[in-house]
Every structure is written in structure tokens, then in C-alpha cells.
Structure 1
Amino acid sequence: MIPTGAEEVHLHAGGHDFTVRVYPAAHPDGTALVWLHGGAFMFGDLDMPEADGTSHHLAQHGTTVVSVDYTLAPVDALTSIPLPPPQDGMPDPAELVKALGSDRPRAAYPAASLQAVAAFDWAAQHATTWGGSPDAIAIGGASAGGNLAAGAALRLRDRGGIAPSASCLVYPVLHPVLPEPDAELAGLLADLDPALDMSPEATAAIATNYLGGAAPTEAYAFPAGHDPRGVAPTLIVNAEIDRLRASGQAYAAELAAAGVDVELTREIGAEHGYLNGLDHPARLRTLARMSRFIHEHAAAARA
């Protein structure tokens, strides 16, 4: 069900139809964000808290949000991913995989990556409808969505023309093989419930599944390790107790070395996916950081 006040628009890119849901700002201040949810490239939708809750909150603080229901990757490869054991009160992950089936069109890279760019272009075309400017639209995402946002920022840089005014990446995955955690992070992960940790084997299988035969060195698929000069100013927010934190930290260092305006922070005590917890204390702090970053760089773009 479409939330009250929002509207959905159907688009086509990457060989597939997809949908964007627009959350108009309650009191528009001219800012806009194209937002991509996470879910290991295979899961998630516009109604999950990471998508809907984030969009609602930012819309209440002046920013119109275009949330993207991109084409998800196939689920067939899940059979090769080590699944966590069943937890009390939660469905058996193996049974969940079986239930997913393939009742919706799915496609590997580059479908979702191209759709992220198409969604940004659509937002730029309609920016004045929200009192904004095509030159002051941010792009962002969480986890796999952070990957898609970072890849889209590279595509838009290389294409030329209108590009994002800012990027907001929350606990993103930016490497096909995650960097090794340092001793401090390794210690935190050692104490983490295995059901909440994404093992190196699982993250590698997820990346291979998403690539669908494309080379892991493809810059738009996994932006880390490539030249990021000229991309939009970037905010990276990591969860402290999260194996993906090493990816966000490494990419932030690459951005800084390339002269990109980058802000890196981590939410102490938080685990991966905390934007899905509407009552999680880190959630509101992260959304406030995103709102500030979006507004600061929209103002700079319009100056």
C-alpha cells in the first residue's frame, strides 16, 4: 500500500521495469534525495523501514525523497551461501530462501546500477516540481543500496552533466571481497552473535551472485579500489559492530586521498541494518547527519 501523501512512478532501465516512490517534503526547502534500500542485492522493498522509515523522516525535515524499488538480483545462488542457524522467534533462514522463490523479475548487475542512474535522472527532471534544483539532488543508500548509490555517483561523474550534490552511504558494501577487519573490529565481531554477522564466505557469495558473471573489478559494481576523483561530497556512516565497517572505512580513505570532500563516522554499539529498527537510538542520529549533509551541500551547489 502506498503511504498517504506519497506517489509511485513506473520507469524502465537496465532492461527491466521498476518503480520509484516519491515522498514529498512536508515543508519543502528545495532539497531532494534519491534513496536505495539494502538487502544483499536480493531482498528488500519500498515498505521496509530502511526505505519507508528513512524516506518519511527526511520528508518531515524538508527533503523530498525518491525511494527506488530497483530490480533485485537472483536468489538461486543463496543455496551456496552459509546461512545462520534459526533463532528463537525468527523463521528458519533456509525455509525463508525456499519461500522467496522467483515470483518477481530478477536480474544481476548491471540492472539495478543502471536503474539508480535512471532514478536520479528522473528526479533531476522533476526537481523544480519540489521547489528544488537539478544541481542540488543527493543520492544515497544503505548496505547494498549504498553500493548502488556509490556506483551511480561514479557513472554520473563519468557521463558528465548533472551529478549528485552529495552522497550519503550508510553501512555500505563497496568491495567484492571485504577488507580484513583490524584487531579492534575483529574483537567486536568475535563477541557478536553469529546470526548477526555476515561471514567472509557469505559476503563473497553475495557479491558473486550480484555480479552475475561480470568482473569483480568492474568499477560501477564495486567502486572501491578505483579512482574516485571528482565524485560528489560523500558522507559514510558505519555501524561499529559490523564486518562491512572495514569496507566503508577503506573507501573513505580512498576518497580523502583523491581530494573528495568526505565525512566518516560510526555509530557506537550499532550493528548492521540498524536503520530497520525504528526505535534504535542510532537511527535518528544517522538521519540527522544525513539531513545536515544534504542541506549543506545543496546550499553549496546552489551558491
Structure 2
Amino acid sequence: MNQATTISSVTTEDRVINGPHGAIPLRVYRPTGHPSSALLWMHGGGFRHGSIDMPEAHGVSAELAVRASALVVSVDYRLAGDGVRFPVPLDDVYAAWKWLTSTATSAEIGVCALGGASAGAALALAAALRGRDDSRPADRLLLAYPFTHYPNPAIDDETAREMAALPGLLRFPPETVESMVGNYVGRITDIPVLALPGAARLNDLPFTAIALSQFDDLRPSGELLQRQMASVGVQVRTHLAVNMPHGHLNHVPVPAEATASLEFLASALSAE
């Protein structure tokens, strides 16, 4: 345990747990009163960037803790690069999932969820698949603009025309996606199904909420995931953040559409 502070009505605590590859930093967000649910949250960053201090991690975790009266744990998983490859980030996430489910059980918290944004959504989905097959199933999945397929499905022509004026930093052309996958997996062929888990068997997953960004080259991955889940009987609901680019939960100041996405995810977490 490193430190504890209070942000508005949320208490935060930095701590470290042990995992198969060494220490894993976590940040724990506790709402006022007894939490009604628990959530493990993973930031995005293409598997090679990001931290628990970025708005998509710190801000989102605090917001969901308040809005859903949830115990939220943000994972500072190892980033791909410098010899780190799949499945190391997923192993970190799954070690945190085992810790959280044990903590929630001892604290008598009945609902445990997994969630994340972009690459973090892929990690959340992969951890849910591991948990499904390992007697540690998730009760909910909260996915923000998920990146779960390779090759990534193409955006429709009309949206592509509307996105033409977006800055390059907000775009994900095929070469960028290929670079992210190669850096994470170490190759771009024979991709393990839990690396980009849109290729996995998706049966028997819990209720899933998917928040999408309208002007996002990766939006087709989230839309395809929704169709795949629905086709095997998974209850899934989507929300479209209008006029928003990829990563809209990482923007400061927070746009109105990001607030709507947060409310959508919080509602899914707190739903009966």
C-alpha cells in the first residue's frame, strides 16, 4: 500500500499485488457507503501506452465509482514493448481479477464486472473469457470503443468521408493497427484468440455494454463484436457517442458526450 487520498466523495488508495510476472500496481476507488458492485478497469493505449494516471483510467474510475456506487480497481498492467508481449499484460489483468473477486467476496459485494477502453477493452474481454473457463466469471462487461479484431473491419464510406478532416493523431489507418498488433503479439499472423478476442468463442458471457465513438476507425470492431455476441445469445447493449473520436473518455475538459457514455456504463454496472 502506498497512499490514500480523497477525491470528492471517492477515496483512492494505491497498492501493489503480486502477479506471475512480478508486482502489479493498482489504484482502488471506494465510494461513500458500502459499494453495490465491483469493477476492474483497464485503460487503453494500443497495449503500449498509457497509465493509471491518464483521464481514461483515473477520471473514468472515479466517475464510475460515484455514479454506480462501485468499488473500482484500475490496473497499471505491463505495456507491450521492450520484450513484453502477449500474454503478459493479460496475465497482469487476470491476476488483478482474481484479487478483486476474492476481495469482493470477503466484502460481501455480489456483482463483479470487468471493463476497459480500446485496448483495455480487449484485455477486459479476454479476462472475462479466461474467467468463464476458470470458474471466475464476470457478472458484467463494460467496453468503451473496443479494439478486439485483426484485421480491423473497415469504416463505412460515408463515415470515412466525414472523418477525412480529423487530425492524424485521431486516426487508426491499417498500418497503425498492424503496428499495434505486431508490437503486442510479436507477429501479425496466427494471432492468439485472447490477444484480439473478437476471434474467440463468445458464448456464455455476461450482459455487455459497449460505448462507441462515431468518428472512430475502430468503431467497426465494436459493432462487429456486438453482432457476434448477439448471435450467440449474449445480452448486449450499445451507446453511440455522436461526433466523438476514438478515446473520447480521455479528453479534458470532459465533453458532454463523454458524460453520456459514463452514465451509460454506470447504468449497466448498477443494473439489476
What is residue 64 of structure 1 aligned with on the other side? 71
Q: 1:271 to 1:60 in 2, by over 3 A?
A: same
Say which one has the larger Rg: 1
Q: 1:208 to 1:142 in 2, by over 3 A?
A: same
1:246 aligns with 2:253: no
CA distance in 1, matches of 2:138, 2:230: 18
- Give the CA deviation at 1:226: 2.6
What is residue 255 of structure 2 aligned with on the other side? 280
Letter of the 1:260 counterpart: V
What is residue 84 of structure 2 aligned with on the other side? 107
- Give the CA deviation at 1:179: 0.7
The C-alpha deviation readout for 1:170-190, integer Å capped at 9, x for no partner, is 011001221111223222232
1:132 aligns with 2:106: no
Q: 1:214 to 1:118 in 2, by over 3 A?
A: farther
Tell me, what secondary structure is at the counterpart of 1:50?
coil
Residue correspondences, number: 264
Q: 1:215 to 1:17 in 2, by over 3 A?
A: farther
Match of 2:174 among 176, 197, 200: 200
Letter of the 1:72 counterpart: L
What is residue 26 of structure 2 aligned with on the other side? 20
Higher strand share: 2
Match of 1:210 among 184, 195, 203: 184
Flag as ranges the 4+ runs of structure 1 deviating above 6 A: none
Give unpaired runs (5+ residues) of structure 1: 76-105
Match of 1:291 among 262, 266, 270: 266
Q: 1:195 to 1:9 in 2, by over 3 A?
A: closer
Instruction: Tell me the percent identity.
Output: 32
Root mean square deviation of aligned Cα: 1.8
Contact 1:37 1:142 (C-alpha < 8 Å) held by counterparts: yes
Structure 2 counterparts to residues 126-205 of structure 1, below 5 A: 126-128=103-105, 130-133=107-110, 136-159=111-134, 161-205=135-179
Tell me, what secondary structure is at the counterpart of 1:32?
strand
Match of 2:61 among 55, 63, 67: 55
What is residue 266 of structure 1 aligned with on the other side? 240
Tell me, what secondary structure is at the counterpart of 1:49?
coil
Q: 1:30 to 1:170 in 2, by over 3 A?
A: same
Contact 1:28 1:131 (C-alpha < 8 Å) held by counterparts: no
Most deviating of 20-29 and 115-124: 20-29
Give unpaired runs (5+ residues) of structure 2: none
